[in-house]
Structure 1
């Protein structure tokens, strides 16, 4: 079992800093590349409003930090999806047998950023969709890669994009990201919210998550803020 609270600290400060000095980055950061935009996307609208998207792609600290820097995303929450309300607690989810995935809920303005663009960012810099039930240093079903769709339109767009990426043969290994309906989202404990932005010096953040935000800025300058 591994949890996103501990891995960087288990290296020890000396080894962790050594990894940084050797420019050793997690697989997602090292291999980040701007993927093609979805061929099927929601039509852009001039009317401002709010829609919800939920993604899981490893430790929610880094996924939340990425989307907090995307223009048009108004608010984000770290939390849990896929399991029952009674087990939506960090200590239980970390056991890996609750059915929950560490997830991030986004409230976004479709007049500024489309659902397809969010998917493009998710796959380009936030998650490695070829890693099964793990992500970087974290292993367990709670770290699986999932798109939780909340509308039929989101389901169509996400399903088409998964097929598009699969046919493009961009990845050397099969895509294992799951597409499932969103039944519920449970916000995580307060100390998890905005963790990366509040603790930029945490070695786990420095090694695993800060590179994702830098990749967002590098690959999607028009979407970055």
Structure 2
């Protein structure tokens, strides 16, 4: 659209909090960050709450946060949570027994490279209509724009994102109205920079503020 055509429209600001006012269940949104040192895989369980329906975006393989082996990262996260009991051959969904209490969790691994196996998982996700259909989705480049999982409570993203549009899309995965949640959370797990804590916090707050 040409600039002169854009000027014919009245500009409207519609933020997340105005959106929440129109919802029946979801009433609050938290946007925050969590620092780690060393490898993010050693810190992931500090912030990943498997009692919450979560979409976890691991870092791009070219980023400084990545260990450069995305499949090992997924395996490490799964091992930290519990023991894999089985992977459903029809859906590709992983059934994981949580170490802390033995609860069975359903996990979707969208980092999977095999197109046929990934399509099984995506098809399952598209048809989900129950709270018990999924507990955790682990993704890399998928599950951002146009991805609908209303039950998602927590969007946990590892690594700095240079695109505000990408952040907004990820936050949007957790801000669907659903009767299983009154609060949604976006958390960015970030490597601790080599700078004074106060300066780092100021910089991150400037990034997160609208």
TM-score of the two chains, using structure 2 as the length reference: 0.26
- Bigger helix fraction: 1
- Output the TM-score relative to the length of structure 1: 0.25
